[in-house]
Amino acid sequence: MFLKNKKFSFILILLLTDCITFMLSFVVAFYLRFYVFPVDVVYSFSQYLKISLVLLPVWILFINFFIGYKLAYISKFDLFIKILKTSIAFIIFILALIFIIKNDTSRLLIFLMWINLIIFTLLLRYILKKIIAYFIYKLNIRNNLLVIGNKVRKYKKIFNNSYINKVFYYPYELDDKNIENLKTLSLKKQIREIIIINYSIKDSQFLSLCDWAVINNVDIKIIPNETQMAKDKVELDDTLGIPIVLLVANPVYDFEYFLKRILDIVLSLIILIVSSPVFLIIAIAIKIESKGPVIFKHLRLGFNEKEFYCYKFRSMYENANKNLKNLIQNSIEQNEAFLKLEDDSRVTKIGKFIRKYSLDELPQLINVLKGEMSLVGPRPIVRLELEQIKKIYHNYSYRKMFKVLPGITGLWQVSGRSLLSDEKRLELEIYYVDNWSLSFDIRILIKTVFVVLFHKGAY
């Protein structure tokens, strides 16, 4: 009861912590900019302080929109991603404001403050979480939560993963026989939240249960079924005058996807600049070993099945496509969706090496900058492979692959690549689209580094 009534106090503490974080970030950034990296021009601290105080409420609004003020479990990695998104959006807002009002604010100060906001917000929120968790546990004021349903075992890991909840389980489907037992148990254990996994009671009984919950200050929550959870995003739509569950078909056109595009451009430019000597060495090696162009262009299917030229370092002998008919015929005969050959005689010695470490795909960074590809996404396929997929798999799920930009790396590549079956590959590509998030992309990028180093499933 204490936790429910004092929730506002915790939110206030969190709000105060974010205010302290913002001002601390500003002070440290100002010190670094004008004392560690001094300039001839003298800038007034009081002037910058006034600006920071004006921007403080804006930062709080951004925090509220991207992270939120609520006591809920969130992993350190997910918190980092949320803070990263919030800080990037906030800095873009500041830069746009500076451009509009034509202010001469130090750009280095803004950059340093951005770094500080990420570090201090993550650090102070994590420390605050530990302090709150300690006091909640020591004072025994955790939120008593009851999970009911015949599939509670499936959700035990999720509901145990919270420092504010004391969880009880009732492993039976809610029906007219045990509804009174549920009420008795809830009152006995002082339950504040009831989470229903599945139920088979009449509407009138359910409404009666809701009325009982209101009177006894108990929140009732219902976990959506598998059909609803199959979608990446579920929204409540009331445009028809009544609340309706809306299953969003393709939730990848929001601000987070805009940040994904920025990440694509920035990382691609960095990798291109850093790896330029590698580009030169590979180009020379390809030219020395065999005749033909350094870069191989191949038609692939991208967003909305639109064809584009995918760039790769040439890893085969010139005119290797003349021997492609045998590979195609073999794939058709074996009922395979994707063209693949482990020991391909068309591949050069240099080609085998750059394929082994996925260096042949470096030129696809150009595709990323052109907006034809992303760093992470489903693997771009050729038209023939699409026809094979249509022939073998008689459903429309595969079309989801073309609702996002194809990627240089992806869930399939970090999960075994060519070692996986065609069906598993397709399943992973669809899973990626359905469960896309910026944090998911970053996890895949990190895993890609290790996959490339150990070249698992590459040929």
Residue 295 CA to residue 283 CA, distance in Å, equals 8
What integer pLDDT is reported at residue 3 of this predicted model?
A: 44
Mean pLDDT for 328-351 is 64
Q: What is the Cα–Cα distance from 298 to 377, expressed in whole angstroms?
A: 18
pLDDT of residue 459: 47
User: What is the pLDDT, as a whole number, of residue 89?
Assistant: 87
Q: What is the structure's pLDDT at 323?
A: 57
Please write the tens of the pLDDT for every residue from 88-131: 889 888 888 888 877 777 788 888 999 999 999 999 988 888 88
Partnered with residue 298 across adjacent β-strands are 310
Mean pLDDT value of segment 66-89: 79
Determine the pLDDT at residue 240.
56
Looking at residue 4, its pLDDT comes to 46
| Low-confidence winner among 41-50, 178-187, 375-384, 427-436 (lowest mean pLDDT) | 41-50
378 CB contacts (<8 Å, ≥6 apart)?
A: 401, 404, 406, 407, 410, 412, 429, 432, 433
**Per-residue confidence (pLDDT) for residue 2, from 0 to 100:** 41
Of 459, 438, 265, 260, nearest to 365 by C-alpha is 265
Domain ranges of the chain: 2-138, 143-223, 255-454
Question: What was the pLDDT predicted at 396?
Answer: 62
Looking at residue 235, what is its pLDDT?
Answer: 64
Q: Is the pLDDT of residue 362 over 90?
A: yes
Determine the Cα–Cα distance for residues 378 and 300; give it in Å rounded to an integer. 12
Distance from C-alpha of 76 to C-alpha of 125, rounded to nearest angstrom:
10
Mean pLDDT, residues 161-174 taken together: 76
Give the DSSP H or E segment for 244.
Answer: strand 244-247
Secondary structure of residue 196 in the 3-state scheme:
strand
CA nearest 313: which of 338, 289, 293, 341? 293
pLDDT at position 355 is 86
pLDDT of residue 1: 41
pLDDT of residue 186: 87
pTM: 0.61
Is pLDDT of 332 > 70? no
Structure tokens at 75: 């992993």
Candidate from 178-182, 270-274, 391-395, 429-433 with smallest mean pLDDT: 391-395
Separation CA 60–CA 74 (nearest Å)? 19
**What percentage of the chain reaches a pLDDT higher than 70?**
78
Count of residues making up the chain = 459
Distances from the Cα of 427 to the Cαs of 66, 310, 401, 402, in angstroms?
Answer: 30, 23, 10, 14
Running DSSP on this structure, what letter comes out for residue 399? Answer: G
More confident position, 365 or 47: 365
Cα–Cα nearest to 73, from 10, 158, 145: 158
Mean pLDDT of the chain: 80
* Cα 296 to Cα 280, 312, 345, 356, 370, distances in angstroms: 15, 5, 17, 17, 17
What integer pLDDT is reported at residue 272 of this predicted model? 92
| pLDDT given at position 456 | 59
Q: Give the integer Cα–Cα distance in Å for 403 and 414.
A: 21
| Span 244-255, average pLDDT | 59
Q: How confident is the model at residue 264 (pLDDT cuts 50, 70, 90)?
A: very high
| pLDDT tens-place string over residues 408-437 | 999 988 887 667 777 888 888 888 888 888
| 12-49 pLDDT per residue, tens | 888 899 999 999 999 999 888 888 876 656 567 888 88
Tokens 């907006």, residue? 371
For residue 51, pLDDT beyond 60: yes
More confident residue, 411 or 250: 411
DSSP string, 304-336: GG-EEEEEEE--B-TTGGGGHHHHHHHHHHTT-
For the cut 70, the answer to whether the pLDDT of residue 175 exceeds it is yes
Report the pLDDT value the prediction gives residue 82, as an integer from 0 to 100.
85
Q: Which CATH number fits domain 143-223: 1.50.40.10, 1.10.3720.10, 3.40.50.720, 1.20.1440.230?
A: 3.40.50.720
Task: State how far the Cα of 361 lies from the Cα of 292, in Å rounded to an integer.
Answer: 18
